[in-house]
Amino acid sequence: MVDWVKLNAAYLSKHSLVCTGTTGSLIKAAMEEMGIRSDMKCMHSGPMGGDAEIAAMVVRGEIDFAVFLIDDLNPQPHEADIQMLLRQCRLHNVPIACNRISADLILASTLWSNPDYRPIAQSYIRFDRK
């Protein structure tokens, strides 16, 4: 994550960032080392509820784009929280990148600067099992 942020630090510094605690402290240090200041809010660490805090921000419409690089080869003690964050991003139509290439592609999308682009709102139809 830190390597990706370093590569995109100039662009990211123009936006408000929200991070889980541990990741946020690493990102902040890396950006400061590069002489780049950013508007960053650090939540709790992931296992201590940070993922849930960010998911709540997604639900409230406070997050436009999420990058959550996942190490699929190591178990996470807060796996349920990670899955909940991913689900809320999908439900609330927030683009979420789970690996570096998807983060690069989403960040590079020309749709971000297209004033005519409006994402289509998610539509959920009630399903009753009978």
Rg (CA), the chain: 16
Q: Please, are residues 18 and 54 in contact by the beta-carbon 8 Å criterion? A: yes
Burial class (CB in 10 A: 0-12, 13-18, 19+), 118: exposed
Does 64 participate in catalysis according to the annotation? no
Residue the block writes with tokens 């942020």 = 5
Residue 97 φ/ψ region, left for φ over 0, alpha for ψ in the -120 to 50 degree band, beta for the rest: beta
User: Which entry of 39, 51, 64, 104 is annotated as an active-site residue?
Assistant: 51
Residues noted as catalytic: 51
